[in-house]
Structure 1
Amino acid sequence: MSGKQSEMEGRLDDMLSRIAVETQEIEELERQLTDGQILANESLQRDLEGIISGLQEYLRGLREQARLAQHQVVSLQAENQSLQLHLEHSARTHRQDLSVQQEEADALRERQVQLEAELTRTQDEKASLQLTVWRLQAQCEVSRTVMDRTRIQLDQITEALLEPQELHIGPEHTYRTEDMLSRSVEQLLRAIQLTRTRTNQDQSREHIHKLHYQITQDQDQITQDQDQIILNQYRRTKDQDQIPQLEVLGVDQPQDHDQDQDQDKHQNWRLQEELQRLRVRLQESESRNRVLQNNREQLQDVQQERDALLLQSVGHQRSLERLNRKLRQLSRDMRDQLTVDQLRTTSQQLRDLTHTLQEEVEEHTHIVEQLGAELHKAQRHKHRTRTRARTRTRTEGGAVDSGLGLQDPHPEGGQHGPPAGGGKWVDSGGGSDAETSSRETPETPAGGVPPHRDTGDRCVCEFAHKEAKRLEEEKKKVRLESKQLRHTLRQHRSVMQVCDEVECVEKTLLKRQAELRRADRLLLEAQSCTHTSREQEERWSGELQRESLRQQEDNLKVRHSFSSDTEEEQLSGLMNEHGVWRAEPVA
């Protein structure tokens, strides 16, 4: 038994020594592992703390956003309820206003009926007054005719009385005139009296109408006074009836006076509390109404901005449609734009042609002026030759009569001397009267103008006149062509202006299209940003959930490792205590 026990103790000592060695090795390994794990755990802990802080901040932001959204939802619900209440109140007030307006409309209808009745009455009175006026006018006309007749009779009578030839007329005629005068005077007096009576009747009628109106007013006032008197009498009798009741109440009043005072005080206190509470509610409702009014104003501003934006968009669309229509119209007009260069070249050619035509016209006018000057010179020469021929014939006739002119008219071999004026024959190149001068002279002088010269001059004059007419016609044609060219140039200038306007419109359209594209691009960017923000939010929420799960797992692992470490430490402590306790007897 002792040997076995010793063996067992030896084995136990060996096992303990091995366990001690292994525990030391394990402690070294654990120390190494703990150092590495501590560093790794510290870095992971820092990362986790950063991630957790970021996630906590993000969660805090999300909670704040959720709280704000919930608050907004609550406020919007309250606003909706308040708006519904306001709508109900407005509908109620609208119904009341409608009822009031209906009552007013009924009253106005009744008033209209009354006014129509008064209008008919006034129209009847007006018709009656018009009849009276017409009757009075007729009476005035009758009185005027009577007055005119009497005036005529008086004039006749005065004329008859003033005529000196009628002084020797008999007494019968005087009696007749006196009778006529007396009758006319009587008729005049009757007419005057009739007019006076009629005016007095009219005045009396007006006075009677005024008295009737005043009497009706007095009667109305009397009826009102009687009603007031009856009402005062009724009140007086009622007060007299209440006097004994008040006396009876005055006898019983001292007994119940204290109770009534207590009840009145209690009621007053309760009423004051209710008034205070109602005032508080009124203030709260006023503040809510102010808030609602502000919210309503904000909503109205937003709606106005939205309406303004809608109107602007509608206006832009209309302007775009208008510009598109203008572009279509101008595109139809721009089909002729390709011929602008050709028209310019043709206009330049026409300008050159007009310039050349003007030069030719000026040359022709210069030629015509020269021909006119030559014609004037020829006419002067013709007149001069005619006068000379006449003087020569006269001198020759005188010489024949006197017997001194019998010499040969062609001395020296048919040669002709100078004319009888001592002058010489001058050829001006346009002398159309040479033939007449030669015919008037007795013989044709040697070296003078031939007989066909007059016909040549006439042909030249006719040719000059025809040329002048032709030039004038050409000038008119050139003027018409220049007018047509100017008209075409104006049209082309207007076309060019239209083209410039089209270019401006195209530029504005391009600008508007660029602005619309930029707005579309901005809208797409905003939509993409909102989409990306939603995706990021979803991703961050998923990552947050995953990180929270990882954190929970890490916490569980840390707790499990901490519990295992504590158990190992406890075991190692127990083993160390046991090893030390066993090592002391071995030593």
Structure 2
Amino acid sequence: MDQDQSEMESRLNDVLSRIAMETQEIKELEQQLTDGQILANEALKRDLEGVISGLQQYLKSLRAQTSKAQVNAQNLQAENQSLRRHLKDTQRHYRRLEEQATAHTQLMTAQQDDLSVLHSEAASLRDGQVHMEAELQHLREELDRQSDQCLLQQTIRDLQTRLERFTSETPDHSSSLRVEDLSRSKSQALDQSLSEGRYRNLHRLNRKVQELRRVMCETESLTGEQRLWAVHRVKELNCSVERLKGRLEDGEARSELTEVQAEVDRARTKTRTESRCKAGAETRLRTRPEREEAPRSRAPVRLTTVSVGSGATLDSGLDLHLLSSPERAKTTGAAGNWHYRTRGAKEQHHHQHQHHLTETDPSEEGGSTEAEPAGGAHTQDEKKRLRAETEKLQRALRKHRRVLGVCEEVWCVEQTLMKRRAELREAQRLLQEAHSSIAKARHEAEEWARRAKDSATCLQRTQLQLR
């Protein structure tokens, strides 16, 4: 047991010696570690101080950049809001321009339709005007021809009066033969003047009168309802038509109207002159002595030289009735239409007149006194007929003025349409400018949005680096 204790003590001493040695080694190691750690710590400290100073400088620069980026972001947001407001305004203006363009397009379409209708009406009016002018010229020529016929009829009546006076004074056989020869020559002259060619001319003239009546009916209807419709459409299209109506009396229209009025005045003057000549001829026939022999011998020569163009007819086949005359029969057509007698009535009247001219009875007393009232009645008929023709010319003149008024209104409509087209072109130009402005604004907005996105990305990166 003592041995064990000694062994254990020896072992304990060995352990204690080992512990002391190890403790000494540990102290030496600790001393070595402390010196190296101090050096390492100092180096690490120096490194850390450099890193910290660099990080502080970098942080300062990042803070400056962040503040600058925030300012830029605020500016970009303000600009973005202003661009959005401008975009909204531009879109509203674009929609308004589109609505205006649609309205202008619809208005232009309606105006083009109205213009096509008015062009067709103007073409029909021009055609009617041409027909009316041609018929008016024909009526003027017919009026001149009728004046020549009136002179020829007056000459025939004078010769008939002389024949009747001569037969009443010399009822012998030779005078009867001479009267028969004169009557025969007069009948031949009248038959020659009333040939088939003359009847064909009268028939053709009647056809022209019918055509003129149809044209006048169309013109009257056109200048009635359709003219009112055209005026209404013109007033709707442009309110300035009323101010432009003063251009109706332009140079050409005034010259034409002056010429027609001059023709009417000449016709009136000629009618008055013929009336005075007829009255003077009747007075001379009443007061002339019945002792002239030379005119009696020259009477057949004057009768045989009657031409077809100036035949001894009562009228030239026209026998037109005016509605405003109270002495004419009532008509059933529209206002402004011309009515005429039928061919049978004209031929019957003409044959009665021819029979009245060719009928000479040598035994009839007072023939001259009966011929003079017939001549006066015929003169009154001629006056009435010429007055009716003058009134017809005046009516044609009025219708011509109405046609010119419609043509002037059509011209006003064309001017209005030209103005509307100019306005439409201006609106299209403004619309194109608005489109270009919208495209430019969109491009700028996209550019600013891209910049704002880049700024936001930079801010996020900076925040991540700061964290």
Larger RCO, structures 1/2 (Cα 8 Å, 6+ apart): 2
TM superposition score normalised by structure 2: 0.36
TM superposition score normalised by structure 1: 0.30
Larger fraction in helix:
1
Q: Which has the larger radius of gyration?
A: 1
